[in-house]
Amino acid sequence: MTIDRPMSRRGLVKGGLALGAAATLPTTFAIAQARPIKVGLMLPYSGTFAKLGENIAFAVEMLIAEKGGKLGGRPIELVKLDDESKPENGPQNAERLVKRDAVDVLIGTVHSGVQMGIHKVVRETGTLTIVPNAGANAVTRELCAKNVFRTSFSNWQPAHGMGLALGKRGVKKAAWVTWDYAAGKESGEGFREGLEKHGGKVVQTLTLKFPETNFQPLLAQIPGLDVEVVGSFFAGGGAVQFVKEYKAAGLKVPLCGSGFLTEGTLQAQGEAAEGIETALHYGDGIDSVKNTAFRDAFKAKTQREADVYAVQGYDAAQLLAIGLEAVKGNLEDEAGLYKAMRAAKFDSPRGPVSMSPSQEVVHNIYLRRAEKGLNKVVGIAAEALADPGTGCKL
């Protein structure tokens, strides 16, 4: 079935339950309330974004464990699916979770192209979805949906912060280097808009296909570009290699970017990342009780340092908890659930966050500098930055 606007998935997927409801309401309601809430975790657990997906999943598990395994009084059952960051399998994988596994909630994913496949399915079925990374702008702009929330960022946000910071400093000419897919393109747009607000320009964009890492033909063009900085979007394994090759090429033009370039990758990038400036909604040195507790707990659970991906996963689960607590675990109360999630203002390890009218997270974008293995926060590039939400009607 294909429909234009989201409708209640309760009627579609749980049709069997609804049929008998009129005759046996109290019993059915009691049974529905007692069963665990099934949460699908559709993430990359393999490929260039594997570590990103793992950290999101670990942090979701961590928040649920902190709440005693229950949200809104209901036990939570997680159903994991590896989407391998393959956009061509996105719709089919989302359908497996929603239709075959009958998840009540979907948390996913990392890659913007895969997200668009999920989005098609969850708009049709009305499945409550929380995006814990993928920044595809359309999700909270022209294709926004009342059942879809994002606790990570829009692709526009972090790169916009970087563009603003450079523009304010008087940078006039920049290049943008990235993978040729939604996250790279939309980050480039955010970067360009930020720069242009202060009279700067992106004079050249260089791209290669996702997830290719044959960077040499791009790097070879940089000395001829006559730019003051090179901005870029890469993440995960691709970012590690790009930063190392940029350094090895001996280029004089400083490299900067959307913060994913150095996030969760500094150890592998080593000396090559030293001094790189990026903008992101998280960084090292955010001194708050919440962040310290989060980092300690994440380290204890995983033996890894927390990064932005872990924060986003934790916040996806925090937002779900807020919604479920407001309706006491009653998923049938969609209006109450969504109202509470839309109005949520909560303490994230990244700082205070809230939700915009298009159900996108509103947060500070920090300016960071890579120093001795840390993405040190050196300022705020944009305070409480909301995505414009262009074209969203809810």
How far apart are CB 54 and ligand BEZ at their closest, in Å? 13
> Where does this chain touch ligand BEZ (CB under 6 A) — which range of 127-135, 270-278, 289-297, 383-391?
127-135
Count of CA atoms in the C-beta half-sphere (13 A) of 330 = 11
Residue number with CB closer to ligand BEZ (64 or 269)? 269
Cα dist from 277 to 6, 162, 261, 263, 344, whole Å: 41, 8, 9, 11, 31
How far apart are CB 149 and ligand BEZ at their closest, in Å? 16
Binding track, positions 224-253, relative to ligand BEZ; x by CB under 6 A: -----------x------------------
> Where does this chain touch ligand BEZ (CB under 6 A) — which range of 107-115, 246-254, 285-293, 317-325?
107-115
How far apart are CB 155 and ligand BEZ at their closest, in Å? 6
The verdict on 51 binding ligand BEZ (CB under 6 A) reads no
Q: How far is Cα 137 from Cα 298, in angstroms, rounded to an integer?
A: 29
In three-state secondary structure terms, 147 is coil
Q: Are 378 and 368 in contact, with CB atoms under 8 Å apart? A: yes
Residues paired with 362 in a beta bridge: 354
Q: Are 310 and 56 in contact, with CB atoms under 8 Å apart? A: yes
DSSP 207: E
> Where does this chain touch ligand BEZ (CB under 6 A) — which range of 106-114, 140-148, 270-278, 350-358?
106-114
Judged by CB under 6 A, the number of residues near ligand BEZ is: 11
Residue 101 is encoded by which pair of tokens? 């596994």
How far apart are CB 87 and ligand BEZ at their closest, in Å? 10
Residue number with CB closer to ligand BEZ (151 or 155)? 155
- The closest alpha carbon to 318, from 112, 151, 173, 146, belongs to 151
Beta strand pairing status for 277-280 and 345-348? Answer: unpaired
The verdict on 183 binding ligand BEZ (CB under 6 A) reads yes
Q: Are 331 and 10 in contact, with CB atoms under 8 Å apart? A: yes
The verdict on 112 binding ligand BEZ (CB under 6 A) reads yes
Q: Which of 130, 134, 316, 341 binds ligand BEZ (CB under 6 A)?
A: 134
Residue number with CB closer to ligand BEZ (210 or 338)? 210
Residues paired with 7 in a beta bridge: none
Helix axes 289-302, 50-66, angle to 10 degrees: 110
The verdict on 117 binding ligand BEZ (CB under 6 A) reads no
Q: Which of 110, 202, 266, 386 binds ligand BEZ (CB under 6 A)?
A: 110
Q: Which residues bind ligand BEZ (CB under 6 A)?
A: 49, 110-112, 133-135, 155, 183, 235, 260
